[in-house]
Structure 1
Amino acid sequence: MSVPTRGIALLLNAFGLPRLPLQVQSTGPQYDDLTERWLDASHGWQPPDDTATYLRWLATHRDVLFHGSQRADLDQLTPDRESGDSTAFGNQRAVFATDDPIWAMWFALLNRSPGYRSTRNGAWSVRGGHDRHYFFSVDSDQPDADLLTPGWLYVLPRSGFTRERPAAGLVQSGQWINPNPVRPIAHLPVSPTDFPFPNHVHRHTPRTGMLRTLWNRRRPT
């Protein structure tokens, strides 16, 4: 790992961001069997013991992406209007997806009912590193217990998507876009209990800058 890359990794660690390994190795034939029944033969979703670990394994071993939604009836995903994202890549008219199912799960579970105003979030890995660092924050009047609610995770074909380029050639987000409509391969229900970081959701206000939001999240929730 180069000196600049090592410095960025140390900075992410200084913020205290939760992290997970980028790849999940084989856990035996059960995940292969589940994938063959569900994705390849369309026999319906049968939840494994650990949905998050299975989906991370799927991201490692299949050429797929993920999209989170509160809707269960999306037969086709269509390009969204510009999202107001702070980056040019994230503010395009496109179908947005990620190679990280945990990040996609955040968008599936996030409760946007009255009281919710905005979210700041990210999933970042450093070139040559082995982990992905996560960040989740909301501007909301909702109690902590109401921030997450059941939603749906869509599995998409990776073909036709373009990956966001690494920032400064060093920091890779998990974000991908496709300017064309996309038909999902499958979708599955997810619940707050599937989300591995419920105690790492923090708060911000419109007056709080991004760096301050990241720094503030070092405080216990």
Structure 2
Amino acid sequence: MISKVVSGLMGILFYRAQVFYFSEEERREFEKMYLIAATENTEVNYTSKYPKHRFIQYIAATKPVILHGSNNSEISEFEARRQTLYNGQIVNAVFGTKDGIWPLFYAVLDKKKVKGGIRNACLKVEGGSPHYFFSLNKETLDAGPWTTGMIYFLPGETFKRAGNGLVSFDEWVSETPVKPIAKVLVEPYDFLFLNSVSCHKDTESIVKSWLLYRLRTKGKNRKIRS
């Protein structure tokens, strides 16, 4: 009961992607492309007629992998680094997620053009679907901060969930170095919520950014391509 109430509140504040169902044709194509890339530890040669975000979602949902998005397309090994979890805890780890949408934000956001803070989240309510929030300040948005990037598929064996509870970020961490299994090139249009990135002031509280998120993105094209 509590989780349903919390999920309902999250649905008012944030966006939630549709549940994806994959045809047999999609599954065959996605399995074949991923198997070739994973066997050779190389980049996926994406030749499918289906949107690339569906491929990423499929691999995230069906394989024991963790996803990581980056502007850097030539990472051969991820090293543990000092970073901050969503709850403020400092860890020395490789970051990733099991979600197939959230890492696209990090892959196509040009870090060289970011001025000030990045505010974003993939929040999961226990037993429910993830909810998303993405916001940049005006200076960053005016700079045209989108670029090509890479989604890396990492082996999940050494990763553990960073947080638990009724509501938590879909963050996973590995305290040991990780070599990618495969990777796939992505463009800004592959990011489903590209047109649902809001604009915040760095001086405002994160709570205010959350409360105004849907209002600030109202009227934008938020259609999710199926």
Q: Which amino acid aligns with 1:18?
A: Y
Specify the alignment match of 1:147 in structure 2: 145
Q: Distance in 2 between matches of 1:7 and 1:140?
A: 33
Task: Give yes or no for contact 1:21–1:132 (8 Å, CA) kept in 2.
Answer: no
Name the residue aligned to 1:160: 158
- In the alignment, which of 5, 11, 17 is matched to residue 20 of structure 1? 17
Report matched runs for 1:122-133 at 5 Å. 122-129=121-128, 131-133=129-131
The one-letter amino acid of 1:50's match is P
- Letter of the 1:191 partner, please give it: E
- Taking structure 2 as the reference length, the TM-score comes to 0.85
Displacement of 1:59 in angstroms is: 1.0
What aligned pairs does 1:74-93 form with structure 2 within 5 A after superposition? Answer: 74-83=75-84, 85=85, 87-89=87-89, 91-93=90-92
Q: By how many angstroms is 1:159 displaced?
A: 0.5
- d(CA) in 2 for partners of 1:205 and 1:184? 36
Which of residues 173, 198, 201 is equivalent to 2:169? 173
Residue 136 (structure 1) aligns with: 134
Distance 1:76 1:43 in 2: 13
Q: Deviation string for 1:55-113 (max 9, x for gaps)?
A: 11111111001111111111100112234x55144x31110000113111111111222
Aligned 1:1-221 pairs, distance under 5 A: 3-15=1-13, 17-21=14-18, 24-28=20-24, 29-42=28-41, 44-47=43-46, 48=48, 49-83=50-84, 85=85, 87-89=87-89, 91-114=90-113, 116-129=115-128, 131-143=129-141, 146-166=144-164, 169-221=165-217
**Would you say how many aligned residue pairs link Structure 1 and Structure 2?**
212
Asked whether the equivalents of residues 41 and 181 of structure 2 are also in contact (C-alpha less than 8 Å), the reply is: no
Alignment check: 8 A CA contact 1:70 1:150 kept: yes
Alpha-carbon spacing, 1:144–1:197, altered in 2? closer, same or farther (3 Å)? farther
For the structure 1 residues 161 and 113, does the alpha-carbon distance in structure 2 shift closer, same or farther, using more than 3 Å as the test?
same
Return 5+ residue gaps in structure 1 as ranges.
none
Contact in 2 for aligned 1:118/1:140 (Cα 8 Å): no
Shift of residue 19 of structure 1? Answer: 1.1
Alignment check: 8 A CA contact 2:34 2:44 kept:
no
- Residue in 1 that maps onto 2:220: none
Counterpart of 2:73, as a letter, is A
**Structure 2 stretches lacking a partner, 5+ long:** 218-226
Partner SS state of residue 32, structure 2: helix
Question: What TM-score do the two structures reach when normalised by structure 1?
Answer: 0.87
What's the CA shift string for 1:26-62, capped at 9, x where partnerless?
Answer: 4212222222222235575222321111111111111
Q: Secondary structure at the match of 2:215?
A: coil
Identity of aligned residues (%): 26
RMSD, aligned α-carbons: 2.0
